[in-house]
Structure 1
Amino acid sequence: MTADACCVTPPLLGEPLSEPAAVEMAKTLKALADPVRLRLFSAIASHSGGEACVCDISGGIDVSQPTVSHHLKVLRDAGLLTSERRASWVYYAVVPEALQDISALVNLNTAALAGVTA
């Protein structure tokens, strides 16, 4: 999520999402809903040093380089990745706040969940 969109998403069971927060979170979740994008995101997040270039993450993903670039752009546009050009390579890193917002959305603590199902 972007910094101008409601700061931090409240837990799903804590209170209803505002319309702007829901729009931003839907954009984020839609970006991650594609299996190739999810694999690329995971590869970057788990890469040593917390950043990776395309050559580090595209192995084993059976799509063309332009398609990988497109998917990385979608993830950047959704606020999930940052990118930095270094010479002829572009390095990508996960935006920590985006992970926190996703985690906050789905952080269903046991007590709150038990209260809903009781």
Structure 2
Amino acid sequence: MAVDLELTPKTKRPVGQPCCEPVVYPDVDRAQAVRIAELAKALGDPIRLQLVDVLRKHAGQVCVCELVPLFDVAQPTLSHHLKKLRDAGIVDSEKRGLWAYYYVLPEALAPLAAWLDV
């Protein structure tokens, strides 16, 4: 069965005129998008993601000396990753003597969790 299609010639649209209307619009405003992107960027490293996983599962605060044996990186590198997570507001720490004790700030992950829960 043959179908006859009527083709219209291509026309050039005026400069600045959109080719079509958007199908969907973002539900996330610019400020939310910036915050979610910051969280995602901080969690974008496998070691950081694993650090957050360990800290989330631990009840209370974890000494950095307990974290070092879990990863195949030197202590300064681990501290660098923890600083990135702290700068993003995902974890916080408390200094006790020579050691720092880290913990997850659960409310910090809420924007990312809410966006992913769609």
Q: TM-score range by the shorter chain?
A: 0.7 to 0.9
| Amino acid of the structure 2 residue aligned with 1:28 | L
What is the TM-score normalised by the length of structure 2?
0.73
**In the aligned structure 1, how far is the partner of 2:51 from the partner of 2:69?**
10
8 Å CA contact 1:45–1:51 kept in 2: the answer is no
Q: Choose from 100, 103, 114 the match for 1:90.
A: 100
Over 4 Å off, 4+ runs? none
What's the CA shift string for 1:76-110, capped at 9, x where partnerless?
Answer: 001100111011110111011112222111112xx
Partner of 2:68: 58
User: How does 1:69-108 map onto structure 2 within 5 Å?
Assistant: 69-108=79-118
Can you give the 5+ residue segments of structure 2 that lack an aligned partner in the other structure?
Answer: 1-25
What do you get for the CA RMSD once the two structures are aligned? 1.3
- Of structures 1 and 2, the one scoring higher in RCO (CA 8 A, sep 6+) is 1
What's the CA shift string for 1:45-74, capped at 9, x where partnerless?
Answer: 112x23211112222311111100000000
Larger Rg: 2
**In the aligned structure 2, how far is the partner of 1:101 from the partner of 1:50?**
22
8 Å CA contact 2:48–2:81 kept in 1: the answer is yes
Quote the sequence identity (%): 46
How many residues are paired up? 93
8 Å CA contact 1:28–1:78 kept in 2: the answer is yes
User: How does 1:7-86 map onto structure 2 within 5 Å?
Assistant: 16-47=27-58, 49-86=59-96
Higher fraction of helix: 1
| Amino acid of the structure 2 residue aligned with 1:55 | C
